[in-house]
């Protein structure tokens, strides 16, 4: 039978906006020593501002329109940001043949043109040579009919509590914090150093994130548990692979909430340390 204080712990945490799906997860949480974060939507808001369009022969607004149209059915934060920057409704009748390549971007037919929107890996995939960009930011390359059409530079904002979230974890005795991202190295390193994260791995495909988590799990002491925190866009497999999967509940996807063991209802990463502390307190009452 499940000791009563587990129910108290689960109830107490739910009042803090932390949904713990079972008493066994409280036990794992209490032993968490490694916390691995996804970047976009987890440590950052996932709401990008468009900073500029570079190296394009087309009008900047036209590049944004074609990119937003190609992205019209995607739920990725980059897509949402491009829709917002375009500012008008996309007539989906003009968009067809949509393929989303997770960790890379989108290819679609817009008004009879083949439009590819994504990172350097996507440009490699469609065989287009991208002009490198030396600005720090998330670079969204656009190719039209297999010709390079410039890049849109966008930037995300770090969540207000993200820095505190990392320092609270350290204070709670978490030994290692790690950030995994599919985004470019320069942005990834900047976010990680601003937040005081110990290790950072960038330019990863979703399967690369699973691989990294498996590496970390195999190298850590058996008793130390690893938590992965994500928003579920492309990272549901990592949420399931970690000893404990923590998902953002408000902005996150249904797949994430499904795959996770713990859900943070208000997407606030500083609730992770809180969840660990509540679990330890609860366990100390049980045993
Ligand atoms: P993160 O690891 O930061 O959460 P993702 O794994 O979702 O990011 O995506 C990694 C990278 O792949 C993004 O930074 C972007 O370059 C590219 N990408 C993924 N999906 C899209 C999309 N829908 N549109 C444009 N680029 C995308
Ligand atoms: Mg993500």
Over residues 38-91, the pLDDT tens digits come to 999 999 998 899 998 998 889 999 999 999 999 999 999 999 999 999 999 999
- Which domains are seen in the chain, by residue range? 4-45+158-286 (3.40.50.1000), 49-155 (3.40.1110.10)
| Ligand 2 centroid, distance to 229 Cα (angstroms) | 10
Give the residue, out of 38, 40, 107, with the most ligand 1 atoms within 8 A of its beta carbon, to mutate for a pocket test: 40
| Ligand 2 centroid, distance to 214 Cα (angstroms) | 18
C-alpha to C-alpha distance for 123 and 116, rounded to whole angstroms: 8
C-alpha to C-alpha distance for 93 and 85, rounded to whole angstroms: 20
C-alpha to C-alpha distance for 17 and 272, rounded to whole angstroms: 11
CA angle 92, 119, 64 (to 5 degrees): 40
| Ligand 2 centroid, distance to 234 Cα (angstroms) | 6
Q: What percent of the chain has pLDDT over 90?
A: 80
38 labelled catalytic: yes
What is the reported pTM?
Answer: 0.92
Q: Is 42 in the pocket of ligand 1 (CB under 6 A)?
A: no
Residue nearest to atom 24 of ligand 1 (CA): 105
């Amino acid at each position: 039978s499940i000791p009563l204080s587990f129910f108290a712990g689960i109830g107490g945490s739910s009042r803090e906006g932390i949904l713990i799906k079972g008493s066994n997860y409280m036990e794992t949480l209490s032993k968490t020593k490694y916390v691995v974060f996804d970047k976009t939507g987890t440590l950052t808001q996932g709401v990008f501002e468009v900073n500029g369009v570079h190296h394009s022969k087309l009008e900047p607004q036209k590049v944004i329109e074609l990119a937003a149209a190609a992205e019209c059915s995607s739920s990725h934060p980059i897509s949402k940001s491009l829709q917002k920057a375009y500012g008008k409704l996309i007539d989906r009748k003009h968009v067809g043949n949509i393929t989303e390549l997770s960790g890379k971007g989108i290819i679609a037919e817009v008004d009879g043109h083949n439009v590819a929107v994504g990172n350097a890996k996507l440009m490699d995939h469609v065989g287009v040579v991208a002009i490198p960009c030396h600005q720090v930011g998330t670079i969204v390359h656009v190719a039209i009919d297999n010709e390079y059409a410039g890049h849109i530079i966008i930037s995300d904002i770090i969540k207000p509590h993200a820095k505190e979230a990392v320092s609270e974890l350290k204070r709670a005795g978490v030994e290692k914090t790690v950030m995994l991202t599919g985004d470019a190295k320069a942005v990834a390193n900047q976010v990680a150093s601003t937040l005081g994260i110990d290790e950072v791995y960038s330019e990863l495909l979703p399967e690369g994130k699973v691989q990294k988590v498996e590496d970390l799990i195999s190298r850590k002491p058996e008793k130390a548990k690893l938590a992965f925190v994500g928003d579920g866009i492309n990272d549901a497999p990592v949420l399931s692979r970690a000893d404990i999967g923590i998902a953002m509940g408000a902005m996150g996807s249904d797949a994430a909430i499904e795959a996770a063991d713990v859900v943070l209802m208000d997407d606030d990463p500083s609730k992770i340390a809180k969840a660990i502390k509540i679990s330890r307190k609860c366990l100390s009452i049980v045993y």
